[in-house]
Amino acid sequence: MGSGIAQVAATAGCKVSLYDTSLEALDKAKVSLNKILTRLVEKERIDEAEKKRIQESINYVNHLKDLASSRITIEAIIENLEIKKKVFSTLETYVSEDCIIASNTSSLSIASIASALKKPERCIGIHFFNPAPLMQLVEVIPAIQTAPEVLQKSTQLISDWGKTVAVAKDTPGFIVNRVARPFYGEALRIYEEGIADFTTIDFSLKKLGGFKMGPFELMDFIGNDVNYTVTETVFKAFYFDPRYKPSFTQKRFSEAGYLGRKTGKGYYSYDESGHIIRDKTHDTINSELAQQIFDRVLVMLINEAADALFLNVASATDIDNAMTKGVNYPKGLLAWADEKGIQWCVEKMDELYRNYHEDRYRCSPLLRKMNKENKTFF
């Protein structure tokens, strides 16, 4: 991730210092960047002169003092709050007074990270999506300590780098990792109830919803260990709200080492090229069952997006941009709600609640209010 962000900044014309404590990691990053740029030349997206310019714009360093002249630093290390705070407090002793210190964390509290600094007002979250050079979205997350000018400078810089900015409140998971939870969680719940298998659920979301990958394919791609940890982190951070409850199925797969594509086995088995070994076709899948699965996952996603708007996590436009440009959803969820009808969303959520009587299936107050007032999101 760090080298990807460095590539984005260098491509946009910035001088970049890429820091790591490991010289081996820096050498690996340099070799990797050369391969990526060579492929871009082969595809005629850049020429040799541009490749050379980008490479010469990145300086590989292994001491924090080499970052002294930086106007902004973006940390992209392990998702461990205490480690991040330690790095930030040390980094602050080397950089200038007006240097912005940003974290690429995907779910940790920016306010907590900022508290490690003597000048917490300079801290902000700048969350890229992997791979950073290809993914259009960047979430920018001001902490309650963040100075307004730091937010303004950060959003302007990321926009200048050619990215789409979505400003998010400093809440667990920000936009994407919060709103996307039902895509995985509800799919796992459907499986655990015995309604359908992995293949049927994935097929339903891809065929009827236009998703590029089904939830089980995507969890295998991300890694069950990584995806489970994010879910568990969000669940705890939201004071154990049942909407974000992790799945025992995913926990057991993680414990068994069935992590997905990177281990050759997850919800699916993979060949040496990383392709799924299919053991059934989709020819006999019941269309009514597929619709039931798709509707259930979709309305849970819409409900989560609506609740994020209700609680002022982000604007409606930023929420939809986050989901289409951050995780490649085929449509923005709030626009999708308008298309399906707000009444349809409320009725589907109420039907789930009547069936289960679990707080997991509570309808967002915003959807109820909009239904009563006959309003739409856009």
| From 3, 109, 154, 177, active-site residue | 177
Q: What is the mean pLDDT of residues 142-165?
A: 98
Last residue of a domain, one of 150, 170, 190: 170
**Containing structural domain, residue 131:** 63-170
Instruction: Write the CATH number for 339.
Output: 1.10.1040.50
Catalytic: 127? yes
Is the model's pLDDT at 80 over the cut of 70?
yes
Q: Are residues 160 and 262 in the same domain?
A: no
pLDDT at site 130: 86
Domain count, the chain: 3
pLDDT at site 285: 79
Average pLDDT, the chain: 95
4-32 confidence digits (pLDDT tens): 999 999 999 999 999 999 999 999 999 99
Q: Are residues 324 and 179 in the same domain?
A: yes
Does the predicted TM-score (pTM) go above 0.85? yes
Q: Are residues 68 and 105 in the same domain?
A: yes
Is the model's pLDDT at 66 over the cut of 80?
yes
Q: Are residues 5 and 151 in the same domain?
A: no
Q: What is the mean pLDDT of residues 177-190?
A: 97
Q: What is the mean pLDDT of residues 341-364?
A: 98
Is the model's pLDDT at 278 over the cut of 90?
no
Q: Are residues 282 and 323 in the same domain?
A: yes
Q: Are residues 209 and 258 in the same domain?
A: yes
Instruction: Write the CATH number for 131.
Output: 3.40.50.720
Q: Are residues 375 and 292 in the same domain?
A: yes
Confidence of residue 86 (pLDDT cuts 50, 70, 90): very high
Q: Are residues 162 and 80 in the same domain?
A: yes
Catalytic: 139? yes
| From 103, 104, 127, 227, active-site residue | 127
Q: What is the mean pLDDT of residues 68-97?
A: 95
Confidence of residue 101 (pLDDT cuts 50, 70, 90): very high
Q: Are residues 54 and 92 in the same domain?
A: no
Last residue of a domain, one of 118, 140, 170: 170
Q: Are residues 40 and 82 in the same domain?
A: no
pLDDT at site 280: 60
110-149 confidence digits (pLDDT tens): 999 999 999 999 999 999 998 999 999 999 999 999 999 9
Catalytic: 106? yes
Is the model's pLDDT at 281 over the cut of 60?
no
Higher model confidence: residue 284 or residue 33? 33
Q: Are residues 196 and 217 in the same domain?
A: yes
Q: What is the mean pLDDT of residues 95-107?
A: 95
pLDDT at site 174: 96
Q: What is the mean pLDDT of residues 56-60?
A: 97
| From 106, 224, 254, 321, active-site residue | 106
- For every residue of the chain, which 3-state class applies, written as one string? CHHHHHHHHHHCCCCEEEECCCHHHHHHHHHHHHHHHHHHHHCCCCCHHHHHHHHHCEEEECCHHHHCCCCEEEECCCCCHHHHHHHHHHHCCCCCCCCEEEECCCCCCHHHHHCCCCCHHHEEEEEECCCCCCCCEEEEEECCCCCHHHHHHHHHHHHHCCCEEEECCCCCCCCHHHHCHHHHHHHHHHHHCCCCCHHHHHHHHHHHHCCCCCHHHHHHHHCHHHHHHHHHHHHHHCCCCHHHCCCHHHHHHHHCCCCEHHHCECCCEECCCCCECCCCCCCCCCHHHHHHHHHHHHHHHHHHHHHHHHCCCCCHHHHHHHHHHHCCCCCCHHHHHHHHCHHHHHHHHHHHHHHHCCHHHCCCHHHHHHHHCCCCCC
Confidence of residue 375 (pLDDT cuts 50, 70, 90): very high
Q: Are residues 83 and 144 in the same domain?
A: yes
| From 3, 70, 104, 139, active-site residue | 139
Last residue of a domain, one of 13, 28, 62: 62
Percent of the chain whose pLDDT exceeds 90 = 94
